[in-house]
Structure 1
Amino acid sequence: MILVVGGAGYIGSHFVKELVRSHNVVVLDNLSTGHRWAVDDKAIFVQGDLGDTQVVQQLFDSYQIEAVLHFAAYSLVGESVKDPLKYYENNVVATFNLLKLMKENSINNFIFSSTAATYGIPQVEFIDEQTPTHPINPYGHSKLMVEQMIQDFSKSYGLNYVILRYFNAAGADESGLIGEYHTPETHLIPLVLQHLLGQRESISVYGTNYDTPDGTCIRDYIHVTDIAKAHVVVLDQLLAGKKLNTVYNLGNGNGYSVKQVIDMCQKVTGKKANVQYVGSREGDPAILVANAEKIYNEFGWKAYQDLFRIINSAYKWHSNNVYSNQLE
C-alpha cells in the first residue's frame, strides 16, 4: 500500500490517477485546498490533517505502508509572505511529525514534492540541481527546510528518499475529469482560460521590460501528467530497493513567455484576450527554466507534452467544468 498525503490536490490527484493502475493507494487529505471529487475511485480516501499525528499513526496501524508521497503543502507565495506561521506550521512542522512517525514505524521510502522556488532568483538561465538554493519567500524557505530534514533523516536513520523540484505545473488529465481548480486562482494558464471563458473581464501582465525577447517573463511549463509519471518512475525505483537519496528537477527544459502563453491560449480557444499591462512584481526573475537532464539520464523520463498540448488539455478541463457546481 502506498500512502499519498495531499492526494486530493491538483498534482496529487493526477499522481493518484496514474498510481492506481499499478499499486494499492490510500490518500490522506484535509480538503482545505483539495477536492474529494478529484480522488480516483480506486484509491482509499481518508479525510484528515497531516498535522494530526493520531490520524497518521492510525493509517500506519491499518495499512502496510511501503512508501509515502508528500503533496500536502501550502504553496501560495504571496500568502506565505502575509502568513508565514501557516506555512511553517503545515509545511515544516507537520512534515517533521510525519517523518518522525515514519521512523518509529520503520517506513523508509519517501518522495517529497519540492519546488523551483527553493532556487530563489538564480544567476543562470538553465537551472540544474547544483544551482545554489536561495529562496526569497517563506514558501520557498519552508520547502528547503524540509529538504534539509529529509537529508538529515536519511544520513542518520536510513530514510530512502527522492526530492522532486517542480517548475510550473500546468494542464489537465486527458480524460477531462480532473484538472486545475484553485480558489483563489493564481496561475497564468487557468487565469487566461477563465478570462477567455467569460469568468474574468481581463488578464493582467506584470511587466513588459524584462531582458527577454518580448519583454515578459519566461517560465518552464510542465504538464501535470508528466509530473505524475515521474513520481511513478522514481517510486518504482525505491520499491525495488534502489538507494537514490537525491534531488531531481522536473521541467520541460523550454521556456515560454507570458505573451507566448496568452497567444497560445488564444490559438487554442479561438478567442481574443483583453490584456492589461501593469507594473512588474518585486522579486519576479526574468527567466526560470529547468535543466532536467539528470532524471532523463538516469531513468529515461522526460516531459513529452509541449505548450499546445498543455493548454489544450487545460482548456478541455476548464470548458467542461468551470461552470459546474460539483467543483465546489
Structure 2
Amino acid sequence: MILVVGGAGYIGSHLVKELVEKEDVVVLDNLSTGHRSAVDNRAIFVKGDLGNEEDLQMVFRSYPIKAVMHFAACSLVGESVIDPLKYYQNNVASTLTLLKVMLKFKVKNFIFSSTAATYGIPDVALIDESSATTPINPYGQSKLMVEQILSDLSTSDGLKYVILRYFNAAGAHESAEIGESHDPETHLIPIVLQQLLGLREKVSVFGSDYDTPDGTCIRDYIHVTDLASAHILALKALLTGKKSAEIYNLGNGLGYSVKEVIETCERVTGVKANIEMADRRQGDPARLVASSNKIFSELGWKAERNLEKIIADAWKWHQNQKY
C-alpha cells in the first residue's frame, strides 16, 4: 500500500487518480488547502496532519505501507517571504515528523515532490540537475532543506528516495472530474480562464520588456497528468531497486511566454482576454525552463501534453464548476 501525503491537493489528487489503477492507496490530508471531493473514491482517505505524530502512527499501524509519496506543503512564494516561519514549520519540521515515523515503522521508500524554485535565478537557458541550488525565497529554501535531510538519512538509515523538481503544474484531468482549485488563485492559466469566464475583471501581465522574444516572462508548464506519470515511474524505479537516491527535473524543455499562454487560452476558448500591462514584479527572472533529459534517459519520461492540451483540459474543468 502507498501512502500519499497531501493527496487531496491539486497535484496529489491527480497522482492518486492515476496510482489507484496500479496500487492500493491511502491518502492523508488535513484539508487545509486540499479538497475531500478531489480524492478518488478507490483510495482510503484519512483526515490527519503531517505534523501530528499520533495521526501518522495510526496510519502506519493500520495499513501495510511500503512507500510514501509526499505532496503536502505550503507553496506560495510571496507568502513564504511574508511568513517564513509557517513554511519552515510545515514544509521542514512536519516532514521531519513524517520521516521519523517512517523510519520507526521501517518504511524506507520516499518520493518527494520538490520544486525548481530550489535553483533560485539560474544563469543558464535550460536548468539541469547540476545547476546551482541557490533559492531566493523561504519556499525554495524549505524544499532544499528537506532534500538535504533525505540525503543525510540515506547515509545514516538507508532511506531510499527520489526527488522531483518542477515549476508550473497546470491543466486538469481529462475527465474534468478534478482540476486546479486554489484560494487565493495565483497561477496564470486558471487566472486567465477565470477572466474569460467573467469571474475576473482583467488579467495583469507583469512586465513586457524582458529579454525574451515577445518581452514577457517565459515559464515551464507541465500537464498535471504528465507530472503524475513521472511520480509513478519514479515510485516503480524505487520499489524495484533501480533507483535509491536520485534527483530529477520535470520540464517541457521549451517554455512558454506569458503572452503565448494568454493567446493560447484565447484560441482554445474563442474568448478575448482583457489584459492590463503592469510593472515587473521584484525577483521575476526572464526565463525559467527545466531540462528533463536525465529522467528521459534513465526512466523514459517526457512531457506528452502540449500547452494547447493543458489549456483545453483546464477549460473543460473550469466550465463544469459552479462558481
- Normalised-by-shorter TM-score class: over 0.9
2-structure distance, mates of 1:308, 1:254: 14
1:202 aligned to 2:192?
A: no
Q: Does the Cα contact within 8 Å between 2:162 and 2:243 map onto a contact in 1? A: no
Superposition pairs for residues 224-263 of structure 1, below 5 Å?
224-263=224-263
SS in structure 1 of the partner of residue 98 of structure 2: helix
Q: Where does structure 2 lack aligned partners over 5 or more consecutive residues?
A: none
Which letter does structure 2 place at the counterpart of 1:172? A
Counterparts in 2 of 1:101 and 1:167: CA distance versus 1, 3 Å: same
Which letter does structure 1 place at the counterpart of 2:277? Y
Superposition pairs for residues 15-54 of structure 1, below 5 Å?
15-54=15-54
**Aligned residue in 2 for 1:278:** 278
Q: Where does structure 1 lack aligned partners over 5 or more consecutive residues?
A: 324-328
1-structure distance, mates of 2:311, 2:286: 22
- Aligned-residue identity in percent: 67
Q: Does the Cα contact within 8 Å between 2:7 and 2:28 map onto a contact in 1? A: yes
Which letter does structure 2 place at the counterpart of 1:181? S
Size of the aligned set, in residue pairs, is 323
Give the CA deviation at 1:322.
4.8
1-structure distance, mates of 2:322, 2:82: 29
CA deviations 1:264-290 (Å, max 9, x no partner) are 000011011110000000100100011
1-structure distance, mates of 2:136, 2:236: 34
**Aligned residue in 1 for 2:165:** 165
**Aligned residue in 2 for 1:293:** 293
Give the CA deviation at 1:220.
0.8
2-structure distance, mates of 1:109, 1:244: 8
CA deviations 1:31-56 (Å, max 9, x no partner) are 00000000000000001110000000
1-structure distance, mates of 2:216, 2:251: 20
Q: Does the Cα contact within 8 Å between 2:26 and 2:44 map onto a contact in 1? A: yes
CA deviations 1:111-152 (Å, max 9, x no partner) are 000001000000001000000000000100000000000010
1-structure distance, mates of 2:300, 2:105: 33
1-structure distance, mates of 2:101, 2:32: 23
Which letter does structure 1 place at the counterpart of 2:101? L
Which letter does structure 1 place at the counterpart of 2:141? H
1:90 aligned to 2:103?
A: no
SS in structure 1 of the partner of residue 114 of structure 2: strand
State the superposition RMSD in angstroms: 0.7
SS in structure 2 of the partner of residue 126 of structure 1: coil
